[in-house]
Amino acid sequence: MEKDAVEATSLLIEKIGTLAVVPPGPLAGSQMRDVTLIHEAALLIRDGRIAWFGPAAEAPLDEGTHVFSAGGGLVIPGLIDPHTHIPFAGDRSAEFIRRVGGESYLSIMQAGGGIRVTTQAVRDASADDLVVKNLPRLQRMLELGVTRVECKSGYGLAPEHELKQLEAIRELDRQQPIDLEATYLGAHALPAEFEGRPDEFIDTIGNEQLLAEITRRGLARFCDVFCDKGAFSVEQARRILQRAAAAGLRPKIHADELAQIGATRLAGEMRAVSADHLECIDDAGIAALLEAGTIAVVLPGTSFFLGIAHCNARRLIEAGLPVALATDYNPGSCMIESLPLIMNIACCQLRLTPREVLTACTANAAAALDIQQRAGAIEVGYEADLVVLDAPTLDAWFYAPGRPRVRAVFKAGHLVYRKVEHAR
Ligand code: NIG
Ligand code: FE
């Protein structure tokens, strides 16, 4: 569906059973539970932004306002997925089956599998192929209530193919309603042709002209690096992130996923926008993130999919960190595109409450993308990205995982998805 599917400058969403009022992020530690629930509510949208919300009985009734009934359902801010590896190509189901049989992600990677397999497929694909393959993924995400997605390059691993991936992201952003935020992840893995020469690779993929071109053409806002055992060292990660920051790309880090090598401390040192994964985070890493105001992005779909221990997100919240959640959607470590499924894993297995999970996927996810001033909250003046769910309350929604609940999705005040109701 197109971005301007339904025109209405003033729209009242009425008959809201529960409005989950998430305040603007970042919400740190116990503040993550500061979601107010208004029952029997209404919300007014004007010019794509939230103009008013409150008890239905007090709703302003302007002449000419269109009305949309939420049918007694739950209304939440549009979900934000702040860490995915869209766009990708190829298939690694054979690796998945090997891992189910007991092999580890790291051993498959060290034997030449893993990211390099996807790199071959992405190098073989044109920018147009990448768009065609990844558009349906985003369309399915929209139907799950996701209105904003971070997308990374990182499977080209050579300047021309990295640029091709970033161009595909820009085209994907144009072709469907979800807003995409692009991240340059040139240092995702060492390509075969640089075997034994990681420093030279960092100099190639992190050269000043390339980084300047990415910023000049507005192809990305962030630079990410996979800093872990079997990937890049802290020194290598620091080098590319410093150069990227000088070119205007804000740092993000894949940190402490497979082993503890000090990546989260580097995130603090670099004042990264976010540190992502954190399965092996230590106390020094937590202290570094707190000091820097970095968002902790937890990816429980990856630990679920890889069969490794989850990140202890409860510990991060108790320590006072702002925690966000994301899918990490990628063909190797997490082929899960459903943010609602991730939310259910976070609730049932990481022991986050529904309010904490909702904050993690809205206000704090917006903060992980540095757009918390305008997105991710129910607040007057904020972008009217909203989801109407077929559940009377927040708790009822979380109580029944796996059930498709999205009735309607609004993006900047426009109805961009509506579930077809079948006659019973
Ligand atoms: O976030 N950890 C590094 N990168 C991805 C996996 C990418 C892949 O296996 O294709 C991740 O888990
Ligand atoms: Fe990732």
Cis peptide before 87 (omega within 30 of 0): yes
| Mean pLDDT, residues 357-362 | 99
Same domain? For 204 and 263 the reply is yes
So what's the pLDDT on residue 61? 80
| Mean pLDDT, residues 394-399 | 97
pLDDT bin (cut points 50, 70, 90) of residue 62 is: confident
Nearest CA to ligand 1 atom 5: 333
Q: In angstroms, what is the span from residue 42 Cα to ligand 2's centroid?
A: 38
Same domain? For 71 and 95 the reply is no
Out of 367, 389, 413, a domain closes at 367
Same domain? For 359 and 342 the reply is yes
Structural domain span for residue 147? 79-367
User: 410 forms bridges with which residues in the sheet?
Assistant: 386, 415
Same domain? For 220 and 117 the reply is yes
pLDDT at 46 over 80: yes
Contacts for 391 with CB less than 8 Å, ≥ 6 apart? 73, 74, 397, 400, 405
pLDDT at 235 over 60: yes
Mean pLDDT, all residues of the chain:
96
Same domain? For 105 and 7 the reply is no
Same domain? For 343 and 233 the reply is yes
pLDDT bin (cut points 50, 70, 90) of residue 423 is: low
Whose structure tokens read 């707190």? 290
Nearest CA to ligand 1 atom 6: 333
CATH number of the structural domain spanning residue 57: 2.30.40.10
Tell whether ligand 1 has an atom less than 6 A from the beta carbon of residue 109.
Answer: no
So what's the pLDDT on residue 110? 86
Tell whether ligand 1 has an atom less than 6 A from the beta carbon of residue 302.
Answer: yes
Same domain? For 404 and 353 the reply is no
Nearest CA to ligand 1 atom 9: 332
pLDDT at 206 over 70: yes
Same domain? For 124 and 22 the reply is no
Q: What are the structure tokens assigned to 98, written together?
A: 């090997």
So what's the pLDDT on residue 9? 82
| Mean pLDDT, residues 293-297 | 98
Same domain? For 165 and 58 the reply is no
Tell whether ligand 1 has an atom less than 6 A from the beta carbon of residue 115.
Answer: yes
Same domain? For 104 and 172 the reply is yes
Cα angle value 96/99/101 (rounded, 5°): 115
Out of 326, 342, 367, a domain closes at 367
Residues of the chain with pLDDT > 90, as a percent, come to 93
So what's the pLDDT on residue 1? 39
Same domain? For 383 and 361 the reply is no
Q: Which residue has the higher pLDDT, 423 or 235?
A: 235
Tell whether ligand 1 has an atom less than 6 A from the beta carbon of residue 301.
Answer: no
Per-residue pLDDT reduced to its tens digit, 5-26 = 444 589 999 999 999 999 999 9
Out of 331, 348, 367, a domain closes at 367
**What strand order describes the sheet that includes 323-325?**
79-81, 146-152, 179-187, 222-227, 250-255, 274-277, 295-298, 323-325
Q: How many independent structural domains does the chain possess?
A: 2
Per-residue pLDDT reduced to its tens digit, 109-143 = 888 899 999 999 999 999 999 999 999 999 999 99
Same domain? For 207 and 346 the reply is yes
So what's the pLDDT on residue 424? 56
CATH number of the structural domain spanning residue 264: 3.20.20.140
